[in-house]
């Protein structure tokens, strides 16, 4: 009883501290996506836990168990649709959240930015594990292709892949491992989110003009709480439209077929939120080079804050804004290339925009430092 009272008191203190946290008065709609990510993380955990009570992690029964969930379990169809499409909404919002952080230089807040990037990496791993679980045709072959890239690691690559598979191919042990990891990872993400919020509370939020003044701050409650509620209602409306009217709009049609290890699809592609990474992977002719580029494309997000001049954070730099929007366009083009067959001119286009994706982070530092010097 005493432990329950202490827990209730701790939750009350944390909630009061969050509500009383002063926030910059001029933060805009782009700052709502952090709270929306919390909402959809909660949806993913709740629907995932319920679905796990009916899912069978067996290669012979996994596909049929999902058919059972959608057809026989009460409200199973809406839970399954909410979980699949909730992953797309979560990844969409995390991309917008990261883009906003880069545009407004939130990476200058070291701890908050690093924990945020770590959450992104964990979300990618979790989404990939969950992508394989329904055991559809594209999902099985996608898992085979992606896990096999680790064989490019010198000396230990082959052994590492066999250890990951639990055998000599993607089979029942692989599915069991992916299911267990997929179930555990969201709770690790929750822990990282708590750290993210603690550092956010400690360091405060950036704002559009980069001026951190206590005179231009107001309490989180009531103004920002209402903005978050409006964001929740708007996002939930679009979410319900998708899961009730077009639940399969983001699913590859071949995933409605059970995995067949004897029939390779003519064109293998991942979910839409992995297409840009897939395009970078296949843009490098060398297998090991493609793996390094794939990993570096994610971990490069830790780098921007190391080179930026912190005292110049308030300076408006138009060339940086232009570079940012060019980078966003390159992300969309890489996502489109990921859906195209591996042939010309798509190979050359993918290689060009892969190079530009990495050059952006170098050009950012060069242009920003040059602009800072001429403005002195």
Distance (Å, whole) CA 343 – CA 13: 58
- Cis preceding-peptide flag for 222 (omega within 30 of 0): yes
Q: At what angle do helices 287-299 and 110-132 cross, to 10 degrees?
A: 130
Q: Which of 106, 182, 206, 271 is catalytic?
A: 271
Q: Which of 80, 182, 206, 228 is catalytic?
A: 228
Catalytic residue list contains 228: yes
Instruction: Report CA-CA distances (Å) from 59 to 65, 137, 161, 205, 252.
Output: 10, 12, 19, 46, 20
Tokens of 276: 């840009």
β-pairing, 217-219 vs 22-24, is antiparallel
Q: Which of 54, 68, 201, 221 is catalytic?
A: 201
Catalytic residue list contains 283: no
Q: Sign (positive/negative) of CA torsion 149, 285, 323, 29?
A: negative
CA dihedral 318, 324, 329, 335 (to 10 degrees): 180
Catalytic residue list contains 321: no
Catalytic residue list contains 205: yes
Distance (Å, whole) CA 57 – CA 178: 9
| Residue spans of beta strands (DSSP E) within the chain | 22-24, 217-219
Q: Which of 227, 254, 287, 335 is catalytic?
A: 227
Distance (Å, whole) CA 140 – CA 268: 10
Q: Which of 65, 88, 106, 205 is catalytic?
A: 205
Tokens of 302: 């830790």
Catalytic residue list contains 271: yes
Which of the residues are catalytic? 201, 205, 227-228, 271
């Amino acid at each position: 009883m005493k432990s329950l009272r202490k827990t209730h008191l701790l939750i009350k203190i944390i909630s009061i501290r969050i509500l009383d946290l002063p926030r910059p008065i001029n933060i805009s709609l782009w700052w709502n996506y952090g709270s929306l990510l919390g909402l959809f993380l909660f949806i993913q955990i709740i629907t995932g836990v319920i679905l796990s009570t009916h899912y069978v992690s067996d290669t012979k029964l996994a596909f049929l168990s999902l058919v059972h969930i959608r057809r026989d379990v009460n409200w199973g169809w809406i839970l399954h649709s909410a979980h699949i499409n909730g992953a797309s909404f979560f990844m969409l919002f995390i991309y917008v959240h990261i883009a906003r952080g880069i545009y407004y230089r939130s990476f200058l807040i070291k701890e908050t930015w690093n924990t945020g990037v770590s959450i992104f990496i964990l979300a990618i791993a979790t989404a990939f594990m969950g992508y394989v679980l329904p055991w559809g045709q594209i999902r099985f072959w996608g898992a085979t292709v992606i896990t096999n890239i680790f064989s490019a690691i010198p000396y230990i690559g082959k052994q590492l892949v066999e250890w990951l598979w639990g055998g000599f191919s993607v089979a029942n042990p692989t599915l069991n491992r992916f299911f267990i990891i997929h179930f555990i990872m969201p709770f690790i993400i929750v822990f990282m989110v708590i750290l993210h919020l603690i550092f956010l509370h400690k360091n405060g939020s950036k704002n559009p003009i980069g001026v951190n003044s206590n005179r231009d701050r107001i309490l989180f409650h009531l103004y920002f709480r209402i903005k978050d509620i409006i964001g929740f209602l708007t996002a939930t409306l679009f979410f319900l439209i998708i899961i009730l009217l077009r639940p399969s709009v983001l699913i590859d049609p071949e995933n409605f077929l059970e995995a067949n290890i004897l029939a390779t699809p003519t064109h293998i592609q991942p979910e839409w939120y992995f297409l840009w990474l897939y395009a970078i992977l296949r843009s490098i002719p060398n297998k090991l080079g493609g793996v390094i580029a794939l990993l570096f494309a994610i971990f490069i997000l830790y780098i921007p804050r190391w080179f930026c001049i912190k005292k110049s954070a308030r300076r408006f730099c138009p060339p940086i804004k232009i570079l940012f929007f060019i980078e966003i366009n390159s992300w969309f083009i890489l996502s489109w290339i990921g859906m195209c067959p591996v042939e010309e001119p798509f190979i050359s286009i993918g290689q060009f925009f892969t190079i530009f994706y990495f050059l952006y982070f170098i050009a950012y530092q060069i242009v920003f430092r040059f602009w800072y010097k001429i403005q002195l």
